[in-house]
C-alpha cells in the first residue's frame, strides 16, 4: 500500500498525426479506382465525349480526397484538443497531489536524551571519536530522574511557547514502552507543567505502545488542528534495547503561517507507510519534491538485508549519500519506537546543517519513510 494517487497519465492518448505517405497512397488508389470505373463506363457509353469521363476521373478523386482529408483533420483536431485539455487536467491533478504530499507539521522544538548523551551536533562534529554501540543496549544510570529531565525539556520549550498566544492550547501525548510506563508519569507532567509556568492550557493522553504509531503524524496533518502537539516518547526503561527520552513540539503549518512566526526548527513532511519499499520510494520521488534534495539518511530498526535493499533502491534512484546514520551503530539496539529517536536526531541535524534528512524505519512489518526539511523563511 502506498499513497492513493491514481494512475491517470494514459487515459487519453495523443492522437496519431496525419501521415503524408499514407494519404498520398490513398489518393493514388482512389484515382486509379475512379479512373478504371469511368473507363469501363465509357466503353458502354459511346455518345458521351471522352474528355467528360477524363475530367470526372480527375475531379471526383480530388473532391472525395479533399472531403476525406478534411474529415480526418477535423477528427484529429478534436482529439488533439481533448488530449490537451486532459493533459492540463493531469498537470492540475499532479500539482494537487504534490501539494498534498508536501503538507507538513512544523517542529517548533525537539529534544532527545540518551544514556551516552549523544546529540546531532556530536555526530556532525566528532563522529570519528564516538563509541561504537553495535549489539549493545544502553541504559540510564540508577540515579536517572525522569522528572528532572521532563523539567529540563519543558523549561527549554518555555522560550518558544512564550512567543505564542496564551490562547493556544497544547495536546500532550505520551507514548510509553511497557517497561517504562508508570501511572505516576501523568501527575509528574502536571507538576512539571506548573513549575515551568507555561501559560497555555493543555490536555493529556498517555498510551502504552510497542510500535511507532506514525499514523498520528498523518492524522494531524490532515485534520489541520489548531492546537499544539507535544509528543513525549518515554522509553527510559528497557532491557532489550537502548533507553531514550525524546519530545517534539509540533504545530500545523497553516496555523504557523497564519501567526506569522519565525521560530521553527524543521518540518516533518507527510510520512510514507507502505509494505512495498520500491513503489514507496518511487512515489515519494515523483510527488514529494523535497525527497529529491535529501542528502542525509537515518536508518532505524533495520536489519542488514533491509538496509542493503534500501540503499540499492536509493542508489538506483540517483540519490547521492552525503551521510548515512545507522542508529544501530550510534546508539545500539533498537525497537519500533526508535523511529521517534531518529526523527528527533534528524530534526536536530536539519537545524545544524539546513539539509534535508530522510528517516527510514520498520514498524509492524511496514516501511516507514519520512522527510525532514528546513523551514522556508519567506
pTM of the model: 0.84
What is the predicted pLDDT for the residue at 53?
Answer: 56
| pLDDT surpasses 90 at 299 | yes
Integer CA distances (angstroms), 3 to 193, 287, 336, 363, in order: 38, 10, 22, 17
Say if residues 200 and 211 touch (Cβ distance below 8 Å): no
- All structural domains of the chain, each given as residue ranges with its CATH number in brackets, are 20-100 (no CATH), 102-373 (3.40.47.10)
Distant-in-sequence, close-in-space partners of 48: CB < 8 Å, separation ≥ 6: 42
Split at pLDDT 50, 70, 90, the class of 56 is low
354: left (phi over 0), alpha (psi -120 to 50) or beta: left
SS3 at position 19: coil
- Cα(first)–Cα(last) distance of the chain, in Å? 35
| pLDDT surpasses 60 at 235 | yes
**Mean pLDDT on 286-292:** 95
Distance between CA 255 and CA 252 in Å, rounded? 5
**Mean pLDDT on 272-278:** 96
* Residue labelled with grid coordinates 507555561: 198
Split at pLDDT 50, 70, 90, the class of 18 is confident
pLDDT tens digits, 324-352 = 999 999 999 999 999 999 999 999 999 99
Residue % of the chain over a pLDDT of 70? 92
Q: Residue 213: what are its φ and ψ, rounded to 5°?
A: 60, 45
What is the predicted pLDDT for the residue at 38?
Answer: 60
**Mean pLDDT on 232-261:** 93
Spell out where 185-305 has E strands: 201-208, 228-235, 244-252, 266-269, 272-274, 294-300
Distance between CA 257 and CA 142 in Å, rounded? 44
Q: Residue 12: what are its φ and ψ, rounded to 5°?
A: -125, 115
Split at pLDDT 50, 70, 90, the class of 37 is low
**Mean pLDDT on 236-254:** 93
| Max avg pLDDT among 23-27, 38-42, 226-230 | 226-230
| pLDDT surpasses 70 at 144 | yes
Angle at the Cα of 286 from the Cα atoms of 280 and 292, rounded to 5 degrees:
95
Say if residues 105 and 251 touch (Cβ distance below 8 Å): yes
What is the predicted pLDDT for the residue at 160?
Answer: 95
Q: Residue 358: what are its φ and ψ, rounded to 5°?
A: -125, 125
Distance between CA 373 and CA 291 in Å, rounded? 9
pLDDT tens digits, 166-196 = 999 999 999 999 999 876 778 888 899 989 9
Cell of 1: 500500500
Distance between CA 101 and CA 287 in Å, rounded? 6
Split at pLDDT 50, 70, 90, the class of 377 is low
Amino acid at each position: 500500500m502506498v499513497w492513493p494517487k491514481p494512475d491517470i497519465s494514459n487515459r487519453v492518448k495523443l492522437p496519431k498525426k496525419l501521415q503524408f505517405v499514407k494519404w498520398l497512397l490513398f489518393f493514388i488508389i482512389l484515382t486509379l479506382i475512379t479512373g478504371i470505373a469511368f473507363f469501363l463506363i465509357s466503353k458502354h457509353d459511346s455518345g458521351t465525349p471522352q474528355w467528360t469521363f477524363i475530367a470526372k476521373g480527375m475531379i471526383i478523386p480530388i473532391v472525395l480526397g479533399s472531403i476525406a482529408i478534411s474529415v480526418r483533420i477535423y477528427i484529429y483536431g478534436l482529439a488533439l484538443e481533448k488530449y490537451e485539455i486532459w493533459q492540463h487536467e493531469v498537470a492540475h491533478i499532479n500539482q494537487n497531489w504534490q501539494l498534498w504530499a508536501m503538507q507538513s507539521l512544523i517542529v517548533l522544538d525537539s529534544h532527545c536524551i540518551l544514556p551516552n548523551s549523544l546529540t546531532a551536533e556530536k555526530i556532525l562534529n566528532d563522529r570519528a571519536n564516538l563509541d561504537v554501540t553495535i549489539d549493545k543496549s544502553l541504559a540510564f544510570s540508577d540515579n536517572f530522574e525522569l522528572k528532572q529531565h521532563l523539567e529540563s525539556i519543558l523549561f527549554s520549550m518555555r522560550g518558544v511557547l512564550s512567543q505564542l498566544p496564551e490562547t493556544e492550547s497544547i495536546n500532550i501525548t505520551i507514548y510509553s514502552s511497557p517497561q517504562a510506563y508508570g501511572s505516576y508519569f501523568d501527575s509528574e507532567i502536571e507538576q512539571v507543567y506548573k513549575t515551568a509556568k507555561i501559560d497555555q492550557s493543555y490536555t493529556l493522553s498517555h498510551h502504552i505502545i510497542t510500535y511507532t504509531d506514525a499514523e498520528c503524524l498523518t492524522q494531524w496533518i490532515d485534520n489541520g488542528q489548531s492546537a499544539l502537539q507535544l509528543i513525549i516518547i518515554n522509553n527510559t526503561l528497557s532491557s532489550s534495547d537502548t533507553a531514550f527520552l525524546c519530545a517534539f513540539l509540533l504545530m500545523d503549518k497553516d496555523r504557523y503561517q497564519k501567526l506569522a512566526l519565525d521560530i521553527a526548527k524543521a518540518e516533518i513532511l507527510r510520512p510514507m507507510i507502505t509494505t512495498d519499499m520500491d513503489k514507496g520510494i518511487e512515489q515519494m520521488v515523483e510527488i514529494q519534491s523535497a525527497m529529491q534534495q535529501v542528502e542525509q539518511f537515518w536508518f532505524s530498526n533495520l536489519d542488514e538485508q533491509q538496509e542493503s535493499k534500501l540503499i540499492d533502491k536509493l542508489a538506483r534512484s540517483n540519490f547521492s549519500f552525503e551521510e548515512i546514520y545507522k542508529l544501530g551503530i550510534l546508539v545500539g539496539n533498537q525497537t519500533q519506537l526508535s523511529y521517534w529517536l531518529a526523527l528527533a536526531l534528524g530534526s536536530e541535524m536539519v537545524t545544524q546543517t539546513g539539509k534535508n534528512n530522510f528517516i527510514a524505519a520498520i514498524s509492524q512489518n511496514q516501511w516507514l519513510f519520512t522527510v525532514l526539511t528546513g523551514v522556508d523563511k519567506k
